[in-house]
Amino acid sequence: GEDIRILDLTDRPNPGLPAQDFWMFDESKVVLMNYRPDGTQTGRELYEGDPEPYRSWRRLAVAESVPFLEYVSGARRP
């Protein structure tokens, strides 16, 4: 199922995630997201390398983030 989460780094340091956004499908396919400096998405590209670093980053992102509905309700992690 889809698990939409938010990792708000506005008032905290990056916990060690890469600067480039990515999507992961089936724990093995990685799609890199490309953006302009203003945040406009310019495209996506299929990553052809080893997906293991992305699996690790995904675990970290999930551990450090909150579910979208929790985020929009105003509940935040300390």
Counted domains in the chain: 1
Task: Say if 6 falls within a structural domain.
Answer: no
Burial (CB count within 10 angstroms: exposed 0-12, middle 13-18, buried 19+), residue 20: exposed
- Rounded CA-CA distance 55/61 in Å is 10
DSSP per-residue letters across 4-19 = -EE---TTS---S--S
Q: Which domain holds residue 26?
A: 15-72
Residue 75's pLDDT band, with cuts at 50, 70 and 90, is low
Task: Say if 7 falls within a structural domain.
Answer: no
Phi, psi of 56, rounded to the nearest 5 degrees: -65, -45
Task: Say if 78 falls within a structural domain.
Answer: no
Per-residue pLDDT tens digits for 6-47:
999 999 999 999 999 999 999 999 999 999 999 999 999 999
Task: Say if 37 falls within a structural domain.
Answer: yes
